[in-house]
Amino acid sequence: MTVALRGYVAAVLVLALAIGAAGFSGSAGAQSARPSAHPSRSTRLVAPRTTAVQDTRYLTDVAKADPDLATYVQQQGNVALKAMLTDGTAFCAFLRRGGGIDNALLAVVIGAKGVESETHLPAEVATFNTLEAVALLDLCPAEQSLVPSSVRSKIHRLGRALGPPST
């Protein structure tokens, strides 16, 4: 993995996380934090329909983008794969439901924190940045239109850095 690739992943959603999750600092903040706006909270949360090929591409790209997540998969096996795929599809669903990127990010962090004792998903900002950025590339590219243009340009650079799907 190149330093540039790690830099793209780290920068993709940092601004959005800084704005949306500024109140999320440690475990105490996680328990009391809630998304601030719920314009369509009653709307059913629907994950994107993905194929096995999309899922595999997503998991492969996540591992390429962040070696720590590749190590996590080696240590946790299927639990890790399921946790990462759930995180990515949940982010897409929250983003699609409305409320903006900040609320989608925060909702995913809260959900992940709630099951961390089972999944052991690393709870670092870089982890969530990687999972969500790659989800926008591989699982729900149509939702890229729901994020600010500055985020979209960083996601496109990440996609170029990850390269074309392997065949």
Nearest one of 166, 72, 161 to 124, comparing CA atoms: 72
Inter-residue contact 151 to 12 (CB < 8 Å): yes
Read off the DSSP letter of residue 47.
Answer: P
In the chain the first and final C-alpha atoms are separated, in Å, by 20
| Confidence (pLDDT) at 6 | 40
**pLDDT by position in tens, the chain (length 167):** 443 334 333 333 332 333 333 333 232 223 233 344 444 455 778 888 999 999 999 999 999 999 999 999 999 999 999 999 999 999 999 999 999 999 999 999 999 999 999 999 988 888 889 999 999 999 999 999 999 999 999 999 999 999 886 65
Cα angle, residue 141 at apex, residues 136 and 145 outer, rounded to 5°: 90
Report residue 97 as tokens. 């439901």
- Between helices 78-97 and 100-119, what is the axis angle to 10°? 160
Report the predicted TM-score, pTM, of the whole model to 2 decimal places: 0.74
What Rg, from alpha-carbon coordinates, does the chain have? 15
| Confidence (pLDDT) at 4 | 39
